[in-house]
Amino acid sequence: MTIVFKVSDNVKQKMIKYYEPMKCEKTPPYAIFQVKDFDCVTTLYESGKVMFQGIGADIEASIWIEQERILNNRVINPNTEKKEKKVNQGGLIDANTIGSDEVGTGDFFGPIVVCASYVEKKQRDFLVNLGVRDSKKLTDKQIIDIAPTIIKNIPNKAIVLNNETYNQNYSESVNMNKIKAILHNKVLLGMIENSDYKYEKIVVDQFTPAKNYYGYLSEVKSKVTGITFMTKAEDQVLSVACSSIIARYYFLREMKKMSDEYKVIFPLGAGNNVDEIGVNLVKQYGEGILYKVSKLNFKNVDKIKELMRSSK
């Protein structure tokens, strides 16, 4: 897998600082640095273009996509090496749809939440007037305000994958995209099995090409097919937008539970502030705490361990 996009100047500087201890001695032409990990090669070019290559490309890229969202309110839909044929997107917003989306994949702390919702076209005015749109374009307060109304009025199914279960399942053969595909399939199955929803389309906010998505589900007995995969689906399909908001709402709720339990405000994303909180948690509870509250495949784990060693 290859993921490429251009980063903003402030994120570019963060990347240079973050990867400084890991960069290779030799770099490709016009590159600022290159880092080779066991599952991903990361190359940042002088132009600001960054390239992630390997089975872990999705994980590595998601860290910086989330930084762009947090720091610059910028939504990035990176190009993949194999581009899907462009689907006919006309009129989908006026159709009865089941749509799914996920949150938490770019956050070191906290769960992954995947949600599917069913929206009829006659509910369009109600949802638009409520303020439904992509959750990344709403503040946390706005999400907390409107999500309960959406949950009450819109049929939905959500799965919260806690950190312990995520860490048990993640491996070299089970990467982030495979976990997401399995979770999307589960919530979609939950929506269409034993239901009378008169949907015209099933839409998933595209995070991987369709061929790869179904490949990740090759060992799953029951799978939902005939899916329309769309980039920026949460901006075009109300069911996906609802799912995005509901998933974010549950994610924020779980983060608050964690903060209340451990008496600390868990930061979002995967930046240096995350490492600082991680160090404090390890000092107080031991290294095993990371298994419970974080995603162990993130590079933050190595940085936290290094900070622990240097502080002794």
Note the pLDDT tens digit of each residue in 54-97. Answer: 888 888 888 999 899 888 888 887 654 344 333 333 344 678 99
Whether residue 272 lies inside any domain: the answer is: yes
Whether residue 87 lies inside any domain: the answer is: no
Give me the pLDDT at residue 109, please: 97
- pLDDT, mean over the chain: 89
Do residues 39 and 144 both lie within one domain? no
Do residues 161 and 210 both lie within one domain? yes
Most distant CA pair in the chain, distance: 62
Whether residue 181 lies inside any domain: the answer is: yes
Do residues 41 and 111 both lie within one domain? no
What are 275-294's pLDDT values in tens digits? Answer: 999 999 999 999 999 999 99
Domain that holds residue 46: 2-80
> What is the token pair recorded at 292?
């419970």
Q: The domain that contains 46 carries what CATH number?
A: 3.30.310.10
Question: Does residue 254 have a pLDDT over 70?
Answer: yes
Whether residue 200 lies inside any domain: the answer is: yes
Cα torsion angle, 251, 255, 260, 261, sign? positive
Do residues 251 and 295 both lie within one domain? no
259 within 8 A of 265, measured Cβ to Cβ: yes
Read off the amino acid at residue 215.
G
Do residues 191 and 59 both lie within one domain? no
Confidence grade of residue 139 (pLDDT, cut at 50, 70, 90) = confident
Whether residue 301 lies inside any domain: the answer is: yes
Whether residue 24 lies inside any domain: the answer is: yes
Strand 228-230 to 201-205 pairing:
parallel
Do residues 267 and 298 both lie within one domain? yes
Do residues 131 and 273 both lie within one domain? no
pTM for the predicted model, two decimal places:
0.72
Give me the pLDDT at residue 312, please: 66
Whether residue 221 lies inside any domain: the answer is: yes
**How many domains would you assign to the chain?**
3
Do residues 216 and 141 both lie within one domain? yes
**Measured in whole angstroms, how far is the alpha carbon of residue 145 from the centre of its chain?**
22
Residue 278: what are its φ and ψ, rounded to 5°? -60, -45
Give me the pLDDT at residue 134, please: 64
Do residues 197 and 100 both lie within one domain? yes
Whether residue 86 lies inside any domain: the answer is: no
Q: For every residue of the chain, which 3-state class applies, written as one string?
A: CEEEEECCHHHHHHHHHHHHHHCCCCCCCCEEEEEECCCCEEEEECCCEEEEECCCHHHHHHHHHHHHHHHHCCCCCCEECCCCCCCCCCCHHHCCEEEEEEECCCCCECCEEEEEEEECHHHHHHHHHHCCCCHHHCCHHHHHHHHHHHHHHCCEEEEEECHHHHHHHCCCCCCHHHHHHHHHHHHHHHHHCCCCCCCCEEEEECCCCHHHHHHHCCCCCCCCCCCEEECCHHHCCHHHHHHHHHHHHHHHHHHHHHHHHHCCCCCCCCCHHHHHHHHHHHHHHCCCHHHHHECCCCCHHHHHHHHHHHHC
Do residues 119 and 243 both lie within one domain? yes
Give me the pLDDT at residue 92, please: 45
Give me the pLDDT at residue 124, please: 86
Q: How far apart are CA 99 and CA 199, in angstroms?
A: 10
273 within 8 A of 132, measured Cβ to Cβ: no
Do residues 128 and 189 both lie within one domain? yes
